[in-house]
C-alpha cells in the first residue's frame, strides 16, 4: 500500500510504503490525515 505525503504547504511529496513511519508521525502529531478512500 502506498501512502501519499504532502508537506506543510500542501505540495505533494514522494509516496511512501513505510506505514510504520507514517503511523508514528500520526501518533506524535507530526502528521495529519488529509484524505482517505476505503
pLDDT in tens, 2-25: 888 888 888 999 999 999 999 998
Residues 6+ away with beta carbon under 8 Å from 20: none
Report the candidate in 25, 4, 22, 1 with the shortest Cα–Cα distance to residue 14.
4
Q: Which domain holds residue 37?
A: 1-38
The whole-number pLDDT of residue 10 equals 87
Give the C-alpha separation, 38 to 27, whole Å. Answer: 21
Give the C-alpha separation, 26 to 33, whole Å. Answer: 8
pTM of the complete model: 0.67
Top-confidence residue, 3 or 37: 3
Number of domain units in the chain: 1
21 and 32 in contact (C-beta within 8 Å)? no
Amino acid at each position: 500500500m502506498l501512502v501519499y505525503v504532502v508537506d506543510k504547504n500542501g505540495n505533494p511529496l514522494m509516496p511512501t510504503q513505510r506505514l510504520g513511519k507514517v503511523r508514528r508521525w500520526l501518533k506524535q502529531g507530526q502528521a495529519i490525515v488529509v484524505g482517505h478512500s476505503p
